[in-house]
Structure 1
């Protein structure tokens, strides 16, 4: 606790300095109001000042200066015990006043009361800040829960932070966006599930889902929904990403390779191999929250979504099929097969389809 003692009488300064120093306070002195003003910016907690001092800065003026530069408390010392003097000091903002001559016990008690009050005020301020921080954390948790309800439990912290920072975009009921949609589905699941206990079926499906979701999230995509033993993911919404097609392609390759490695390890153990087929398509969709006020989820709707789903259904085990817009955006960065035109179920016109093979390696 830092205390500044201001008095034009040296004996008063010396006695206060010695007594307060022995009591454990950090003490400095000033012989006039002008001297005190020059050092008011040193972070004092208590200013103990004479009320009637010679010069332009008396105790009343000094008290005003103290209050204007910080939050220090002021204790007035006065040799004029008139009631009006005391009231003037208190009204001006003094914490307390001492009538000269005073005993050291009176001095120490007044300073201790002031120090205790300051510590209590600081504790209350800390508690207020803590309560505000807890309230903010609780509000954020509530909003995070809203995000998870809309996006599912697999939403990444990055996506959640973006949604929380851009609620106006998140709450839009329909917004046109160009995105890349990824569909993935397990191949060989039906014969596998027919020959093993249900617990192993669930475990295997969870393992594969975890591999695919990890690949999606590593490349900045979001898992939109599970569909049976498959899933749908988005790149470019709700978090903008101008390279959404590249990110989706990288995620598809990571997912395929991870599942293929798992399948090969299982085959060596005599297990039925489980592989995935993937469809990627890029195009304009309507993105936003679909549902009611009580229950809504983020989704995308449009032909681009339907085409991605059809490509996934057409893909062979371990194969990644691309729609025409996706293959255009990947030119030069990925190895792809020659394009063929296929008639896909549910799509009226034949579609140019390309197979994604791998990242293009440096020559």
Structure 2
């Protein structure tokens, strides 16, 4: 390798080491220290001294000599002084060279990332427990009582999709724990009306809820049940926002899409953990309508509108072009200011 001028060496040192401390040891082939130098004091390396056997003074070196590879790098080795160093061991013409680079900053970052990962695991477990509250054994027992055909059956129901508008952008600027606690508050006020109106929470997907009506025996019109639920969700979210000092959180609103029609129902899972799988055009339609709804809006399909009785007065007709659905469809919109 060509000899490098001091300015080049200085640049390389600054570029790859920065303000990290570095110490080095040169030994003979028996591992006795010939020379040492660098930031020995900063790395708290009083030993080994020249003439000492390096494996006696640095315990992590035990078993590494003689070196049987061209070089050896071991990241983040914990020293007896509790410092972490990156170890670089390589052969020289006289024996071996050992370079120790301060890795305390890297180790601290790794520890912080591990702590963050542990926090996220705890949040996921907490989220799972909350979801089980709504989709757990109680629902499994109800589904068993209904004696649905395992291979699926057709049934006319109403489907609701509700999504918190602006939540993703809000969450990107907040701590994970803060986001989860806030999301739990919003999901609670969105889910409770579903349960009150005799509906069933089918899925919770991030900041969105899918609910179905007409499955559990109630004696009520599913179209009326789903609309009462939607009205309550809009008002609950608005009330929750009005209590928040954070203007960005106070501005969060929900968009809702609703459709009614015949779907195929089937039970998936084990006896301990069962849930419904709902398939059909009305499911896709409700999802597409929700995507079209602006903050605070409820958009319903014509079938739901025709079955809504006096609740139809809250809605105005509109034609929409929806992704994946041929031609414009007749839909009906209720704004939050209604």
TM over 0.5: yes
By how many angstroms is 1:242 displaced? 4.8
In structure 2, the CA distance between the partners of 1:212 and 1:156, relative to structure 1 (3 Å rule), is farther
2:331 corresponds to: 353
Partners in 2 of 1:250 and 1:232 — Cα distance?
Answer: 15
Query: Is the counterpart of residue 222 in structure 1 residue 218 in structure 2?
Result: no
Please give the secondary structure, in 2, of the residue aligned with 1:248: helix
Aligned counterpart for 2:247 among listed residues 264, 270, 283: 270
After TM superposition, list the pairs within 5 Å mapping 1:42-121 onto structure 2.
Answer: none
Within 2, Cα distance between the matches of 1:240 and 1:286? 20
The size of the alignment, in residue pairs, is: 208
- Summarize deviations over 1:301-330 as a string: whole Å, max 9, x none: 000000000010110011111011001111
- Aligned mates of 2:317, 2:247 — CA distance in 1: 36
* Structure 1 residue 335: Cα displacement: 3.0
Match of 1:165 among 137, 145, 168: 145
Contact 1:336 1:354 in 2 (8 A): no
Q: Which residue of 1 aligns with 2:278?
A: 300
Q: Does 1:187 align with 2:168?
A: no
Residues of 2 paired with 1:256 and 1:156: CA distance? 26
The separation in 1 between residues aligned to 2:153 and 2:218, in whole angstroms, is 13
Q: State how far apart, in whole Å, the 2-side matches of 1:291 and 1:156 are.
A: 12
When normalised by structure 2's length, the TM-score is 0.55
Per-residue deviation, residues 127-182 of structure 1 (Å, max 9, x unmatched)? xxxxxxxxxxxxxxxxxxxxx9xx9540499866643433x32x432111000000
Larger radius of gyration between Structure 1 and Structure 2 = 1
Q: Tell me the SS of whatever aligns to 2:212.
A: strand
Q: Which residue pairs with 2:295 in the alignment?
A: 317
- TM-score calculated relative to the size of structure 1: 0.52
Unaligned ranges ≥5, structure 2: 1-127
Which of 233, 244, 255 aligns to 1:255? It is 233
Q: How much does 1:262 deviate?
A: 1.3
1:173-224 per-position Cα deviation (integer Å, ceiling 9, x unaligned)? 2111000000011101122112221111111111110001101000000100
> Which whole-Å deviations, capped at 9, do the CAs of 1:216-236 have from their partners, x for residues lacking one?
000000100112320110101
Q: Which residue of 2 aligns with 1:23?
A: none
Unaligned runs of 5+ in 1: 1-147
Q: CA RMSD in A?
A: 3.0
Q: If each structure's helix is expressed as a fraction of its own residues, which one has the higher value? A: 1
